[in-house]
Structures are given as structure tokens and as C-alpha cells.
């Protein structure tokens, strides 16, 4: 992100802060259907002292077809590209599509009126389809599927409300993740049972490192609409026991919610994602085998657009979004992201 972009964001934030200080108070405004951000947003609200919140969230991300930079290619082109790419890859197989499901259990607790503690347990389920390449002993051109599921990394942290009026909140997120997800499993499926291979990086359940996840969120509530902005990062600390670390990631979200009535809101969210390539390398993942093993083919830029709705009814909060990926520019060759579906239920008590 350029200095000019940061300056523009800072100017927007300053203007919004002045607006927050100037508006008239509206008791109870933050308790309506847009009191939480869209389903794809986390860490956007705090709870009163002694208040608990439990949430179940489900996400499904669907990826199909390979992309070189910003250009979609066919399966045969993906294999042919691997023969001349640097490094050479896709000699054993090329990915064709992937589904990533995630079940999340989220707990929040108001330690004070301005400090909320939280933790999130994750249960990913990963499925990837492939076509075998020219060097695969099980037969070039044949297809196979690999699957992996189990516990992912555990998120913990605290939300600190830095500034608040009846209409506005500024929050600092001091979060992180603990490497509870398994990062090394093997399978004989790619070679038809002839030899065992380590599952590639996208099929692993965690990062293997402790990650810092600092972030900042601002919310502004008008009479019948609200606006939010959030910058969130994921910063691996050191390398894991397989001698690599995932690339650092930054997400910039802005969203608007419109109150249809006090109990129901519609939302529109734009998300920019920047991710670095993997640093280091697992010695059990040779580049030549498949592009999902290539550390320099894991970064890129994505722009997602979320369209959703929020229902706040008798203490239950339902949140839903469908999130198509509108633009992406990927390092090397990777599966492109088509869309995500995110839904959640929560209740505070």
C-alpha cells in the first residue's frame, strides 16, 4: 500500500472522527440490526462488562481453474505452463478445484466496558481435485481427490475501545493465533497408492507458527445506515518445525449497512487482500511435483465484494454474506477464487 493511500485513509479517518464528535446522541442506536458488521468481519464490536457472547460461524470458499497472474487458463495449459515456469512444476499433478469449509466457535467476554477478550476455535475441512501430470506413475490425465480435516489454529486476543460516542467507535484489535493445527500429513492418493507424499501447503490445517494479528476498526452510526472500516493483519513470527512460514497478510475492509427496520439490515462490503509468498521451504514438498508446493506461487492480491443481511431478533443475531471475488492478480500459477459463503448465529447474555 502506498504512502499516498495511507494519507488518504488518515484524512478520511480524521473527517469521520470529527463527524462522530459533532452528531447528536441517539440512545440505543448501536443495539439495532447493524450493531455487528457483515458476516465476513470479526473484531468490530465490544461487550459491556460481564457480558458473554457465543457465536457459531460457517464459511465455504470455492476455487476452480488455474490463473497465471490475472489470466485464467485451462487444465492442459496449467500443466504445459509448468514445464517452462520457474521453477518447473505440475509434473506430477495440477490442481483443478478446491473447496475450503470452515466451522468456527467464537466466544467473547467483556472484561470491562472498553476491553473485550475473545477466542475462536476453528475446524477446517479441505478438499482438492487434481489432474495427474506427465510424470505421475498412476497415469497422466487421470483424476484424483485429496481431503484433510481436523482442528485448525486457535485465535485469541483482546479488543480495546479507544474512543466512543453514541454514534461512533474506534477499536484496537490485539490478537494472535496459536499453532494448534496439524501442518504435516501424507497421502498415497496422488500416485495411486504407489508412494506416500506430503500434502501441499493449501491442504494443511494450520500455519505451524505463532502469528500476531493486530488491527484497527472504526464504526459510525447514522439514523438509518452505518459505515465501518477495518484494517487487519496476519504476521507469522519465525518459522515452524517444517522450516517455513506462511506469507504475511493484510486485509482492508470497508462496508455500509442500511436499516430496513430496527431488526433487519442489508450490507455491502468491499475487501482488499494482499498476501506475501511463503518464506522458507518444507523439504518434503518438491516444486516439480505440483504448483501448490511452490513457495513463490502462494502470494498475490484479491478484491472481494460481500453482499449480505443481518437479522437481530429476540436476542438471536443471524448474519449472512455471499462474497464473489471480482479481481485477483496471483504470483505464478494458482487456483483462482470464485466466491465464498459466510453465515453465523450469535447470542449475547
Task: Provide the pLDDT for residue 39.
Answer: 98
* Per-residue model confidence (pLDDT) at position 192: 84
- Phi, psi angles (nearest 5°) of residue 84: -120, 0
Q: Is 295 helix (H, G, I), strand (E, B) or coil?
A: helix
Strand partners, 126: 100, 148
Domain that holds residue 157: 39-348
In whole angstroms, how far apart are CA 21 and each of 12, 68, 165, 274? 15, 48, 7, 33
Q: Is residue 18 part of a domain?
A: no
- The span from the CA of 196 to the CA of 291, in Å, is 18
Q: Is the residue at 13 inside a domain?
A: no
Nearest to 128 by CA among 147, 143, 151, 103: 147
Question: Domain holding 86: CATH number?
Answer: 2.40.160.40
Nearest to 289 by CA among 68, 49, 79, 28: 79
The Cα–Cα gap between 202 and 282 comes to 13
Q: How many whole angstroms separate alpha carbon 269 and alpha carbon 305?
A: 6
Beta strand pairing call for 333-348 and 279-280: unpaired
Give the whole-angstrom CA distance, residue 281 versus residue 94: 19
Q: Residue 332's closest CA among 267, 280, 281, 275? A: 275
Let me know if residue 141 belongs to a domain. Answer: yes
Q: Are strands 225-237 and 333-348 parallel, antiparallel or unpaired?
A: unpaired
Radius of gyration of the chain (CA): 22
Q: Is 279 helix (H, G, I), strand (E, B) or coil?
A: strand
- Which residues are paired to 322 by β-bridges? 307, 341
What does DSSP assign to residue 248? P
Structural domain contains residue 3: no
User: What pLDDT, on the 0 to 100 scale, is given for residue 8?
Assistant: 53
Write out pLDDT tens, residues 111-138: 999 999 999 999 999 999 999 999 999 9
d(CA 168, CA 222): 9
Contact 94, 82 (CB under 8 A): yes
Q: CB neighbours of 333 closer than 8 A, spacing ≥ 6?
A: 66, 67, 68, 73, 78, 81, 82, 85, 89, 90, 291, 297
User: Is 316 within 8 Å of 345 (Cβ atoms)?
Assistant: yes
pLDDT at site 277: 98
Given a contact cutoff of 8 angstroms between Cβ atoms, the answer to whether 81 and 294 are in contact is no
Q: How far apart are CA 229 and CA 214, in angstroms?
A: 14
Convert the pLDDT of each residue in 192-241 to its tens digit.
878 889 999 999 999 999 999 999 999 999 999 999 999 999 999 999 99
CB-CB contact of 224 with 258 (8 Å): yes
Whether residue 9 is contained in a domain is answered as no
Does any domain span residue 185? yes
Residue 180 lies in a domain: yes
Quick one: how far is CA 145 from the chain centroid? 24
Domain count, the chain: 1
Phi-psi map region of 337: left, alpha, beta (phi>0 left; psi -120 to 50 alpha): beta
Contact 291, 94 (CB under 8 A): yes
Assess if residue 49 is contained within a domain.
Answer: yes
Give me the tens of pLDDT residue by residue for the chain, a chain 349 residues long: 444 544 454 454 454 444 433 333 344 889 999 999 999 999 999 999 999 999 999 999 999 999 999 999 999 999 999 999 999 999 999 999 999 999 999 999 999 999 999 999 999 999 999 999 999 999 999 999 999 999 999 999 999 999 999 999 999 999 999 999 999 999 998 888 788 899 999 999 999 999 999 999 999 999 999 999 999 999 999 999 999 999 999 999 999 999 999 999 999 999 999 999 999 999 999 999 999 999 999 999 999 999 999 999 999 999 999 999 999 999 999 999 999 999 999 999 9
Would you list the DSSP string of 180-196? Answer: -S----EESGGGTTSS-
Amino acid at each position: 500500500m502506498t504512502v499516498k493511500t495511507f494519507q488518504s485513509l488518515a484524512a478520511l479517518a480524521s473527517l469521520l472522527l470529527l463527524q462522530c464528535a459533532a452528531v447528536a446522541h441517539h440512545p440505543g442506536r448501536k443495539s439495532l440490526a447493524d450493531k455487528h458488521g457483515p458476516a465476513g468481519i470479526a473484531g468490530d464490536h465490544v461487550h459491556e462488562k460481564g457480558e458473554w457472547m457465543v457465536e457459531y460461524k460457517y464459511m465455504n470458499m470455492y476455487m476452480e481453474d488455474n490463473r497465471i497472474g490475472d489470466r485464467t487458463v485451462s487444465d492442459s495449459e496449467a500443466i504445459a505452463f509448468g514445464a517452462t515456469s520457474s521453477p518447473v512444476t505440475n509434473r506430477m499433478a495440477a490442481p483443478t478445484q478446491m473447496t475450503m469449509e470452515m466451522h468456527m466457535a467464537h466466544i467473547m467476554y467483556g472484561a470491562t466496558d472498553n476491553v473485550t477478550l475473545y477466542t475462536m476455535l476453528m475446524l477446517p475441512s479441505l478438499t482438492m481435485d487434481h489432474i495427474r501430470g506427465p510424470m505421475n506413475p498412476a497415469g497422466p490425465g487421470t483424476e484424483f481427490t485429496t481431503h484433510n480435516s481436523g482442528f485448525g489454529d486457535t485465535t485469541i486476543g483482546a479488543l480495546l475501545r479507544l474512543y466512543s460516542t453514541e454514534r461512533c467507535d474506534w477499536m484496537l484489535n490485539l490478537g494472535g493465533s496459536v499453532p494448534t493445527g496439524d501442518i504435516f500429513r501424507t497421502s498415497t492418493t496422488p500416485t495411486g497408492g504407489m508412494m506416500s507424499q506430503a500434502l501441499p501447503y493449501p491442504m494443511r490445517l494450520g500455519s505451524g507458527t505463532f502469528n500476531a494479528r493486530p488491527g484497527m476498526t472504526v464504526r459510525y452510526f447514522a439514523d438509518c445506515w452505518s459505515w465501518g472500516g477495518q484494517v487487519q493483519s496476519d504476521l507469522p513470527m519465525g518459522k515452524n518445525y517444517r522450516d517455513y512460514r506462511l506469507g504475511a497478510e493484510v486485509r482492508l475492509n470497508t462496508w455500509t449497512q442500511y436499516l430496513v427496520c430496527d431488526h433487519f439490515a442489508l450490507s455491502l462490503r468491499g475487501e482488499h487482500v494482499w498476501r506475501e509468498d511463503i518464506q522458507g521451504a518444507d523439504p518434503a514438498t518438491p516444486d516439480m511435483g505440483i504448483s501448490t508446493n511452490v513457495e513463490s506461487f502462494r502470494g498475490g492480491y484479491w478484491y472481494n465484494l460481500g453482499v449480505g443481511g443481518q437479522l437481530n431478533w429476540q436476542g438471536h443475531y443471524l448474519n449472512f454474506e455471499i462474497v464473489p471475488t471480482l479481481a485477483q492478480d496471483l504470483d505464478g500459477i494458482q487456483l483462482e477464487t470464485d466466491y465464498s459463503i459466510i453465515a453465523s448465529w450469535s447470542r449475547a447474555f
